[in-house]
Copies of this chain bind each other. A is one copy, B any other.
């Protein structure tokens, strides 16, 4: 259990921090201006492309790849990117859902799949979406997924309706990774497969964008509802083979969850910086907010939560690196549950301290709140994980002292 940053980590963290200070924070108002200037357009804004160019030059690129950094090395970098969640992950080509899709293709893709999709994704030339959740079933129970993927000669025919396909409104989004049933009669966890579907394939219909607390995440590519109406792809577009869909989804979600948690802690730290700045400079009733009511206690509670949870995230990363994602299951579930809700509380307190400004677009707090709130549902509602974690404890009969 050694969480100390090694030389690589120290270096990359320092460079990331500098990049944030020099390029990312100053770019935040630029993004706002670009969005205001093109309010109805979907997709990556120029400022992001400019940052991507700079980040790539400086070697701050695709750092999420296991071949580049271990989970433990990546953790503080990901946390830093969470401090500017609309710009930094995209700038470093480390934004979900592309990261998860790139990992899948790296690990499971055929040479053809890699050439066609992975390379341009790694170069940020295209974007991708992950199409799993469906509006008509409780998708936390993956066995209920109703989209059909039927083999017809050399093709798979895909029929179904997906939603919350994040990024799919972005015109740069060229690839949809689609989960559906190839054999609905198979054993629960062997029913599903994943296929790679070009977003411009005939029969793919982007129905509409969805909002999260009123945000459409327009710059990032939004969240789409998509109908697949007899969409045909070559059989070579299957990922890892028929019946592997559930296993792939599980494999994908482990790193996805820890990345979300890392970035969430970064959001919390950003909020705490803003709170300290506001509380020490804003005056009411004759003294700074810092000296009033429960402000000190809120700041202390937020610090407590972040410190304890960061250690749990680091331990999870270290376990994933040393014993594997499967053996780290309990810890992955634990942080999946504990981090977003704590960050939601921290952001709620920060909003309260900022007053109405905290609810508005003038501060990043309300938007970060929406993101943290959404994480309590992303990859399955917390309650599914909580019950699963509890069940696992109840099966074990001994205590744990490490």
Which residues of A are at the interface with B, using a C-beta cutoff of 8 A?
A: 1-5, 13, 17, 76, 79-80, 83, 133, 135, 137-141, 144, 163-164, 210-216, 266, 269-270, 272-273, 276-277, 279-280, 282-285, 289-290, 292-301, 303-304, 307-312, 314-315, 330-331, 334, 337-338, 348, 351-352, 355-362, 366-367, 369-370, 373-374, 376-378, 381-384, 386-387, 389-391, 393-394, 396-402
* Contact between chains at A279 and B382 (CB < 8 Å): no
Chain B residues within 8 Å of A214, by CB:
211-216, 361, 366-367, 370
Closest to A285 in B: B141
* Contact between chains at A280 and B377 (CB < 8 Å): no
Interface centre among A284, A299, A394 (most CB of B within 10 A): A394
Say whether, besides A356-B377, A394-B296, A76 and B312 are in contact (CB < 8 Å): no
Within the complex, the shortest CB–CB distance from A207 to chain B, in Å, comes to: 12
Within the assembled complex, what's the spacing in Å between the Cα atoms of A351 and B293? 21
Within the complex, the shortest CB–CB distance from A129 to chain B, in Å, comes to: 15
Partner of A401, one of B2, B76, B135: B76
Chain B residues within 8 Å of A279, by CB:
394
* Contact between chains at A213 and B215 (CB < 8 Å): yes
Within the assembled complex, what's the spacing in Å between the Cα atoms of A293 and B304? 17
Chain B residues within 8 Å of A301, by CB:
386
Within the complex, the shortest CB–CB distance from A72 to chain B, in Å, comes to: 11
Within the complex, the shortest CB–CB distance from A264 to chain B, in Å, comes to: 13
Q: A1-B314, A133-B356, A277-B397 are in contact. List 8 more A-B contacts (CB 8 A).
A: A135-B357, A140-B284, A299-B390, A299-B393, A307-B331, A308-B334, A310-B402, A352-B376
